[in-house]
A and B are shown apart, each in its own frame.
Chain A
């Protein structure tokens, strides 16, 4: 099983994408499955580190939390642009956060989360020290942001990947 389908999640999502992009039919199901399996094999030839998802419950919690945060931060940033940054009172700043997260797929996911929520921009991550440099659009309280990223996202990502 694992030799035939080395990356079951990858193959499954490829098949799903194939079916989304074409009309669903038996022919496309077979063709899509074939392509997904070959792509999985090709991926195995590249031998990337295989991410292990340990807790599916946390995945769904993370998706829920992040979707909520994206909506909230969209509203916040849109409002700030509309009222000219609280009429000039808005302060943006850099923020350094020491992370314990080391797994590459988890860091990639964190980068996507921070980018998808307007108001935080991922700038730099030092793989040696694990220090992440982000830019915060509306810096009210540094501690608050550090807590948000560490306890809300990093803790869940650690649960999922490590």
Chain B
């Protein structure tokens, strides 16, 4: 990081802009995480950091290191892609866990159990189902791995 002074002004400005934008959004995301009241609201705040927060910092890094090393440095894009692909997994797991808990404890404000098969048909009539249907409604058998 000894060559920072070689970065010309016209490049330093966008780098600084992206860096400040990205870090500000990430900071706001964490502020929201602390400040917001309900769990579901809190889910939204950190996504600021994983979308434009990350993108801004990545863009700044690409510009800066491409200049300093004299060749396009683009591997930060891979970080961005993986952050984008993996965030929904965590978010969905947290969200569904919270939903499950809230439904099990019967708290208000949570949409009642998912409208399963067809709400107009009411609860499934077990007697009318064929053995295959029954099989499919049972939870899948635990694989032997889970027992060990």
Residue ranges of A at the interface with B (Cβ–Cβ < 8 Å): 17, 20-21, 23, 70-71, 74, 77-78, 81-82, 84, 92, 94, 96, 111-112, 114-124, 126, 128-129, 131, 133, 135, 137
**B4 at the A interface (CB under 8 A):** no
Contacts of B50 in A (CB 8 A): 115-116
B114 & A126 in contact (Cβ 8 Å cutoff)? yes
Interface residues on B, range: 35 or more
Residues of A contacting B43 in the complex (Cβ-Cβ under 8 angstroms): 121, 135
Closest to A73 in B: B51
Binding site for A on B (CB under 8 A): 24-25, 28-29, 31-32, 35-36, 38, 40-41, 43-45, 47-48, 50-52, 71, 74-75, 77-78, 84-85, 87-88, 91-92, 95-96, 99, 110-111, 114-118
Q: State whether A135 and B40 are in contact (beta carbons under 8 Å apart), knowing that A70-B52, A112-B88, A122-B95 are contacts in the complex.
A: yes
Q: Are A118 and B48 in contact (CB under 8 A)?
A: yes
* Bound Cα distance A87, B130 (Å): 56
How many residue pairs between the two chains, A and B, have CB atoms under 8 Å in the bound complex?
109
Chain A contacts for B117, CB-based, 8 A: 128-129
Question: Hey, which chain B residues are within 8 Å of A123, CB to CB?
Answer: 92, 95-96, 99
Return B112 CB to nearest CB of chain A, in Å.
10
The answer, among B32, B51, B99, for a CB contact under 8 Å with A70, is B51
Are B116 and A121 within 8 A (Cβ)?
Answer: no
Residues of B within 8 A of A135 (CB): 40, 43-44, 95
* Other A-B pairs, 17, CB within 8 Å; known A129-B116, A133-B114: A70-B51, A74-B51, A78-B24, A81-B48, A82-B28, A84-B35, A114-B88, A115-B87, A115-B88, A116-B51, A118-B47, A121-B40, A122-B95, A126-B114, A128-B116, A135-B95, A137-B44
